[in-house]
Amino acid sequence: MGLGVGIVGLPNVGKSTTFNALTKAMNAESANYPFCTIEPNKAVVPVPDARLFELAKIVNPERIQHSTIDFVDIAGLVKGASKGEGLGNQFLSNIREVEVILHIVRCFEDENITHVEGKIDPLRDIEIIETELILADLQQLEKKIDKLTRQAKSDKEAKAQLDAALKLSAHLDGLKPANSFDDKENPAFIALNKELRFLSGKKVIFGANVDENALLEDNEYVKNLKKYAETINADVIKLCAKIEEEVAALSEEEAKEFLIELGVNESGLDIIVRLSFEKLGLISYFTAGVKEVRAWTIENGWKAPKAASVIHNDFEKGFIRAEVISYEDYIACKGENGAKEAGKMRLEGKEYVVKDGDVMHFRFNV
């Protein structure tokens, strides 16, 4: 759907290791030196959803298809990236293309793995990245202000955007990110953000990369990170990238056993993928048949015809109605026939807003 999550952070914090685990394919080179990721690696990652397997128990399909998210592993940023330091603006532009940032923060000590800043300090690391994103936004906004200043003399819309841009510029100049701007609902700001895609305006998830000892009990680094995240209303997910990479190489049953041995109920990366899906404003509806049980990805709030278009454009063009069973009713009634007999199947028209977990069948005519 063109919506993606960018994995960012300083060099050597575990970004590529996390990416390897996410993709379950060791295709992002991991090395103990900065900038081992030169071109942004991209991967399509399935969204863990236990509901698919419950549907499959009833339908017994040939295959199961999950919803997916695009993840992009972006090379490590350093101080001065907005001025071209390290590998600079090339990677800031890669971040601009995603909708959500997964910021991997190193929260463990290991003398064998160098840190670009010399010592471990998660809050300092976050400040470095956030500052570079803000400075990059300021540079871009200044160019836009120059253009708007000329246009505003004869264009009311440009004047409104100029006012918003100047206010935002003062906000960014105080090293405050665009996502804390107090006038985000202003149509002029929304238009600016749609065009410029402010780096510091994106939703952020912090991935606290810890060692095995901190998986069960937070170390001081994680505690400090969580306190900071609360102040900006961001989520923190704890993971051990090295272990996640090992788990990714195991079978599903082996992975479950391994996590249980560690005392962990669920993979940190599974939580990150599901949370990213939510942050992107996405939901899934299901189709269930003998060929496949499948989750279809749509944006939250889509009506039935638009939701049908992800299967085929003709489904939207010729939409007649949708047969809908909630996931809970489908499971409770042991399938479509049981749901029909219990009166749990509904016929919905063009104005129906699809709910997460709806099991659907579309009627159309082209």
Q: Give the DSSP letter string of 248-287.
A: HTS-HHHHHHHHHHHT-SS-HHHHHHHHHHHHTTEEEEEE
191 and 103 share one domain = yes
Using an 8 Å Cβ cutoff, are 322 and 314 in contact? no
Q: What is the pLDDT of residue 34?
A: 43
Query: What confidence tier does 77 reach under pLDDT thresholds 50, 70, 90?
Result: low
Q: Count structural domains, the chain.
A: 2
For 288-340, the pLDDT digits (tens) are 999 999 999 999 999 999 999 999 999 999 999 999 999 999 999 999 999 99
329 and 270 share one domain = no
| 295 occurs within a structural domain | no
41 and 190 share one domain = yes
Single out the residue in 245, 278, 311 at which a domain terminates.
278
CB burial readout 2-13, b (16+ within 10 A) else e: ebbbbbbbbbbb
CATH of the domain at 325: 3.10.20.30
* Whole-angstrom distance, CA of residue 210 vs CA of residue 241: 8
Q: What is the pLDDT of residue 87?
A: 43
102 and 65 share one domain = yes
Q: Give the DSSP letter string of 217-232.
A: S--HHHHHHHHHHHHT
158 and 118 share one domain = yes
Longest dimension (CA), the chain: 69
Mean pLDDT (whole number) for 33-51: 70
Query: At 122, is the secondary structure helix, strand, or coil?
Result: helix
Tokens of 98: 């995603």
| 290 occurs within a structural domain | no
Q: What is the pLDDT of residue 264?
A: 87
29 and 144 share one domain = yes
Single out the residue in 247, 278, 309 at which a domain terminates.
278
220 and 341 share one domain = no
Q: Which residues pair with 70 in a beta bridge?
A: 4, 44
274 and 350 share one domain = no
| 287 occurs within a structural domain | no
Q: What is the pLDDT of residue 339?
A: 97
CATH of the domain at 225: 3.40.50.300
Query: What confidence tier does 359 reach under pLDDT thresholds 50, 70, 90?
Result: very high
Mean pLDDT (whole number) for 155-172: 94
Mean pLDDT (whole number) for 152-178: 93
For 182-223, the pLDDT digits (tens) are 988 999 999 999 999 999 999 999 999 999 889 989 999 999
From residue 360, give the alpha-carbon distance in Å to each of 24, 292, 314, 339.
30, 13, 16, 12
| 294 occurs within a structural domain | no
pLDDT at position 51 over 90:
yes
Query: What confidence tier does 17 reach under pLDDT thresholds 50, 70, 90?
Result: confident
List strands edge to edge, sheet with 359-364.
Answer: 63-65, 292-299, 282-288, 359-364, 319-325, 346-348
Q: What is the pLDDT of residue 3?
A: 72
pLDDT at position 45 over 70:
yes
Give the containing element (helix H, strand E) for 325: strand 319-325
Mean pLDDT (whole number) for 165-176: 95
Residue ranges of alpha helices (H) inside the chain are: 15-23, 50-59, 89-96, 122-151, 156-173, 187-196, 220-231, 241-248, 252-262, 268-279, 304-308, 313-317, 327-332, 336-341
Query: What confidence tier does 91 reach under pLDDT thresholds 50, 70, 90?
Result: low
* Whole-angstrom distance, CA of residue 230 vs CA of residue 250: 35
- Cα angle: 266, vertex 267, 269; to 5 degrees: 140
119 and 234 share one domain = yes
- Nearest CA among 189, 241, 246, 184 for reference residue 215: 241
pLDDT at position 37 over 80:
no
Give the containing element (helix H, strand E) for 3: none
Average confidence score pLDDT of the chain: 88
pLDDT at position 272 over 80:
yes
- Nearest CA among 197, 198, 208, 212 for reference residue 235: 208
Angle between helices 241-248 and 268-279 (to 10 degrees): 100
For residue 268, give its domain range. Answer: 4-278
Using an 8 Å Cβ cutoff, are 8 and 95 in contact? yes
272 and 305 share one domain = no
181 and 116 share one domain = yes
Q: What is the pLDDT of residue 28?
A: 45
| 291 occurs within a structural domain | no
| 69 occurs within a structural domain | yes
For 98-132, the pLDDT digits (tens) are 999 999 999 998 877 767 667 889 999 999 999 98
3-state helix vs strand vs coil in the chain, percent to 5: 45, 20, 35
Residues in CB range of 209: below 8 A, 6 or more apart:
13, 14, 18, 104, 105, 106, 107, 108, 239, 240, 241
From residue 345, give the alpha-carbon distance in Å to each of 48, 247, 360.
26, 40, 9
Q: What's the pTM value of the predicted model, to 2 decimals?
A: 0.86
Q: What is the pLDDT of residue 35?
A: 40
Single out the residue in 278, 312, 333 at which a domain terminates.
278
Residues in CB range of 356: below 8 A, 6 or more apart:
283, 284, 285, 300
330 and 192 share one domain = no
| 283 occurs within a structural domain | no
Q: What is the pLDDT of residue 202?
A: 93
